[in-house]
Structure 1
C-alpha cells in the first residue's frame, strides 16, 4: 500500500535532494582517485551516472515546483521537463555506461497523423526510459504510460506523471477501465504505451504466468506462451480496453534485446560498461488491419508476440 501523495512528497523529495548533495560531495574525491589510478573503473562510471541522475531529477522536480507556483500544473510544459530529463540520462548512459542502440524498422508517419498504441517488451533496466526518450525526442510524440503504482515513490515520476494523462496499476490489477479512458481521447500526436507482460521478464515470472493461464483453463494461450522462450505471455485485458476505446489508433510493437540479461544489481555491476549493442525492432500496424472481436484480438496479439520472440531468439543466437 502506497502512502498518500502528500506523505510521499514530504518524505521522498527531501531524500532525493539529500542523496544528490551526498553524491556531489563524494564525487570530487572519487574522481581524484580515478585520476591517480589512471583508469576509469565501473564504480566511477556508475557514480557519474548517479550524479547525473540526481542533478537532472532534482532539476525536474524544481521545474515542476515552478510550474505549480505559476498555476500550470496541467500544462504541456511538463513534457518538456521529461524530455530534458530523459535526454540527459540517455547522453550520460552513452558516454559512461557504453550504451549503444541499433533500431530496425521505422514506424512513425508524418506530423499530424494518427495516434498510436505502443505495445513493448519489458526487460532490463531503463528500457521504459529509452522508449520514452525516443517517443519524445525522435518522433515528437506525447507519451501516456501504463506503469506500476510503486514508481510513484520516485519524486519526479510521482509529480509529473500525476499531472499528465497516465495510469498507475497496482499489483492487484483491475485497471482496464482506466486504460480505456486514457485511450479514449488520444490525439493525433499522442502515444499510449503499454507493457503487456506486466513487468520485467525473468524466467521464473514466465513460468508463473504460464501456470496462471493453465489454472484459468486458457489452454490455447498457455500452449502458445510455452512456445515463446524469451517473452512472458501478454496480458490482454488492458490491450483490448485500449483497442476498443481508440479504434482509429495504429498499433506499434517494440521488441528489443541487449538489456534483458541484466536482471539484478549484481548483473548491472558486472556488465558495466556495456560491450554489446542494444538492438530494437519496431513495426507499425494500421488500425484497419487490427481485428475488432475480442477473441480475434487475443489471437492477433499472441501472433505479434510470437514474431517478437522469434526476432529476439535470432538476435541472441
Structure 2
C-alpha cells in the first residue's frame, strides 16, 4: 500500500483502512526515529515491520531490510509505506523538486506540476514489490488533513474547524505495475494523478 503523507494522522488512517475496512494484517515501514517511542519500539519489533534510517550511508542495507519485511507476506497481509518519506508541505515540495531537477531531470519533468503532494522516492517501494512479486498495489490519497503535519498545526486546525477527511483507495492489479526501470515512471504518474485529484476535490469542496 502506497500512501500519501500529509499529516500526523496518516498512520492511524492507513491502519484503520488496512485493518478495519479491508481486513488485512498491516506491516509498516517506519522511520528509525520512532524506535525512541517505547510502545512503537516494542510492538514494531514484535511484528514484521521495518524501521528505516533516512539518510543512511548504506542504502542497499535499508532496501534489503524492506525486502526482508515482505517475506512470508500472505493473502491477508498488507505492507504499508509512505513513498514521499516525509509529511508534505510547500517547503519540502520545492526542495525535493529542486533536487530532482539536478539529479533526475526526466522525473522532474513528470512531477513539476505537483501542488499538494511531494515527489515519491521509488526505491523503497520497488524493493518491497520485488520481494513480493504476486502482490497487488494499493494507492491511498486523502484530502482535508493538509496543514496537520505538525503538532502546532494540528492544534490550530482542531481549534478553528471540524476536521473531515476524504479518503480514496485504489487497487492496481500487479499485472498493470511494471518492474525494473518502468516502475519509477509508473509511481510518478500515480502521484501526479493523486495530486490532481486532491486539488480537484479541494476546489469542489471549497477548502
- Tell me the TM-score normalized by structure 1: 0.60
Residues 142 and 167 in structure 2, CA contact (< 8 A), matched pair in contact too? yes
Instruction: Give 4+ residue runs of structure 1 displaced > 3 Å after superposition.
Output: none
Greater helix proportion: 1
* 1:266 maps onto 2:175 in alignment: no
Partner of 1:101: none
Distance 2:136 2:116 in 1: 25
Residues 194 and 239 in structure 1, CA contact (< 8 A), matched pair in contact too? yes
Q: Deviations over 1:260-282 (max 9, x none)?
A: 12233332222215424200111
Residue from 56, 61, 81 that aligns with 1:194 = 81
Structure 1 unmatched ranges of 5 or more = 1-117
* 1:242 maps onto 2:128 in alignment: yes
Q: CA RMSD in A?
A: 1.4
Residues 177 and 241 in structure 1, CA contact (< 8 A), matched pair in contact too? yes
Structure 2 unmatched ranges of 5 or more = none
Residues 258 and 277 in structure 1, CA contact (< 8 A), matched pair in contact too? yes
* 1:229 maps onto 2:85 in alignment: no
Q: Give the secondary-structure state (helix, strand or coil) at the position aligned to 1:309.
A: helix
Residues 85 and 121 in structure 2, CA contact (< 8 A), matched pair in contact too? yes
- CA shift at 1:171, angstroms? 2.3
Partner of 1:296: 182
- Tell me the TM-score normalized by structure 2: 0.90
Distance 1:182 1:265, change over 3 A: closer
Partner of 1:71: none
Partner of 1:139: 22
Distance 1:277 1:255 in 2: 14
Residue from 123, 137, 161 that aligns with 2:44 = 161
Distance 1:263 1:137 in 2: 24
Partner of 2:70: 183
Q: Deviations over 1:197-242 (max 9, x none)?
A: 00100111111111222232x1011122221111111101011111
Of the two structures, which has the highest relative contact order with CA contacts closer than 8 Å and spacing of 6 or more?
2
Distance 2:5 2:149 in 1: 12
Residues 186 and 246 in structure 1, CA contact (< 8 A), matched pair in contact too? yes
